[in-house]
Amino acid sequence: MSNQDQLSGGCRDTGNSKSLLIENSSQKKTKIDIECEEIDRISQLPEGLIVQILSRLSIKEAFRTSILSKDWQYFWTSIDNIVYEEEYGRPDSSTETVHKFIFVTDNVLPLLSCSSIKKFSLNIVFTNDNDVVSYYPIIDKWLEFATSKKVEDLCLNISYRYLDTSPPQPYSLLQVLCSSSSIVTLNCEYCILSEDCVLNWTSLKSLKMQSLYLLDEHIKQISNCPQLESLELHDFFGFSRLHMTSPKFRRLQLTQHYFPYTEWYSYEGDICCLEIIAPYVEHLTITGILSHTKIKLGDMPSLNHATFNLYCDEHNEMDLNIEKDLLLRVCCANELILSSRFIKVISNLMLEEEHVSLPLMECRCLTMSSRISKLSFPMLDNLLRSTHNLENLMIFPDKPYHPFFEVEDTDLPEDKYLSLEENIFKDFLQNLKNVKVMPFCSPKRRSDATELHQFLKFLLEHAINLEKLVIVPEHKECNSCSTNTSCLMKYLLDFPTFSISAIISLGPVSHNVFYNDV
């Protein structure tokens, strides 16, 4: 048989080809349908559970699921977690992009059919060419909707990125929002309160406000919120008294006091005295620059944790005795965190005065940021003498490098030195059990490393109950960190410890608690 006959015979139609193709196609389609049904298990979930899943997405992502099928067309309208995140807050944003975001949001919101809202989050950034004020009535409408739906968790961030001109007057909160009985958690940034606004949040437990002008009357109304437990104020100004006397109020954080100079607000005073009374607070945090501000704390007998991460700019130096008084007011705290600003102040005070003593403090855990040097030894002596119950000590490098510690030791009077050989705080280390130290990363601080080595050697020799000394590097895959850490470990392992149970170890890379942006 020829090749042509073989080819012809091999391709001869027997009459069954068409039916075979149809059968195969039908089998493939059936197989695909079955596989799709097996894969699409989420559609088999109860509708309530699907709505809960969609509620964890942003409103934009939830809305997109409406195109999946007819069954999914309306699931998203029942979500009770509404998150609007404007993605056009870049410096190159235009009026068109912001308008598009507002247009879409304004049209989607009325379609929601949920009976109540657990969370409503709005984050939008206006830029130079936006007609900001014209959008405020639309935002009013959105917040009225959220309030009518008994929103519990409200996050409102209406910010402005104006590069060439002063920003306009910020958005003013609605009275209906300020008297909502359903709000439990409120996070409000870059807004204002009218002077006649009445704050009456009967269910509010947590309040966070940033860049907000608050009058003393506003603060008084906030303090009268019967369920309030936590208050955070960032970039705050306008009031002079903060009296939080409710037994339920447990947490207070103040970050950066300042006075803005804009067309809608100006400050003509000199120094602002801020009085804080919070007898039931357990966690107190004061951080950042307190511009033209003197803080006066009342007694805090319930305090458990206190953080002072203050720093100053070239125009604002706080009274040295003010910070000493702050330590006095938090002396009952179990845990204390002090930045290099405090270390500098105490050391400076000791150089200027003959006899300086700190109040006795009850803290068992002390975290501090400081350069270990001859200049800081007197402060360490005084601080550790004041913490007889200290069990845990953590030392982090200071950042930025404080100018005070850049002074050459040789420029200081010889009688101001206090060497380790003089057995400073030798008798006040009886309870110290755990020490964690982060060496300096910079290779330029070789002299600091020497002083740190001597300081830790002294602890090993005199802390009779020491259990752990942990050295933690600051960065991963960093030659300077690796070198400094290795040198310190080798140095310490060559010395015997007074405590027979003490262990010297290398810990994992750790976060420096003093590097947080404020």
Residues 264-301 as b or e (16 or more Cβ within 10 Å = b) = eeeeeeeebebebbbbbbbbbbbbbbbbbbebebeebe
Our CA dihedral for 94, 96, 99, 103, rounded to 10 degrees, sits at -150
**Please, is 196 exposed, middle or buried when counting C-beta atoms within 10 Å of its C-beta (0-12, 13-18, 19+)?**
exposed
CA 487 to chain centre: 34
Residue range 200-251, pLDDT digits in tens: 999 999 999 998 888 899 999 999 999 999 999 998 888 889 999 999 999 9
Average pLDDT of the chain is 77
Distance linking the first and last C-alpha atoms of the chain? 91
β-strands 185-189, 206-210: how paired? parallel
Q: How far apart are CA 273 and CA 151, in angstroms?
A: 36
**Please, is 456 exposed, middle or buried when counting C-beta atoms within 10 Å of its C-beta (0-12, 13-18, 19+)?**
buried
**Identity of the amino acid at 96:** E
Token readout for 102 is: 């507002």
- Tell me if residue 352 falls in helix, strand or coil: helix
Residue 139 and residue 171 in contact, taking contact as beta carbons nearer than 8 Å: yes
What is the pLDDT, as a whole number, of residue 424?
56
Angle at CA 340, nearest 5°, toward 338 and 343?
80
Q: How far apart are CA 426 and CA 462, in angstroms?
A: 6
Residue 354 and residue 384 in contact, taking contact as beta carbons nearer than 8 Å: no
Residue 453 and residue 409 in contact, taking contact as beta carbons nearer than 8 Å: no
Token readout for 305 is: 């944790």
pTM of the model: 0.79
Residue 452 and residue 437 in contact, taking contact as beta carbons nearer than 8 Å: yes
Half-sphere exposure of 45 (CA within 13 A, CB side): 15
What is the pLDDT, as a whole number, of residue 354?
57
Domain residues of the chain, as ranges? 80-204, 209-261+270-330, 334-518
The residues, ordered by sequence, that sit 6+ positions from 457 with a Cβ below 8 Å of its Cβ are 491, 492, 495
Spatial CA neighbour of 202 closest among 178, 230, 175? 178
Residue range 99-157, pLDDT digits in tens: 887 888 888 888 888 889 999 999 888 876 567 788 899 999 999 999 999 999 999 99
**Identity of the amino acid at 197:** C
Q: How far apart are CA 432 and CA 187, in angstroms?
A: 40
**Please, is 86 exposed, middle or buried when counting C-beta atoms within 10 Å of its C-beta (0-12, 13-18, 19+)?**
buried
Residue 255 and residue 287 in contact, taking contact as beta carbons nearer than 8 Å: yes
- Tell me if residue 485 falls in helix, strand or coil: helix
H or E element that contains 252: strand 251-257
Q: How far apart are CA 298 and CA 295, in angstroms?
A: 10
Which 8-state DSSP code applies to residue 90? Answer: S
Q: What are phi and psi of 366, to 5 degrees?
A: -120, 125
What is the pLDDT, as a whole number, of residue 20?
42
Half-sphere exposure of 305 (CA within 13 A, CB side): 7
Size of the chain in residues: 518
Spatial CA neighbour of 506 closest among 394, 365, 490? 490
Low-confidence ranges of the chain (pLDDT < 50): 1-22, 25, 28, 32, 34, 88-92, 264-265, 314-316, 401-410, 417, 517-518
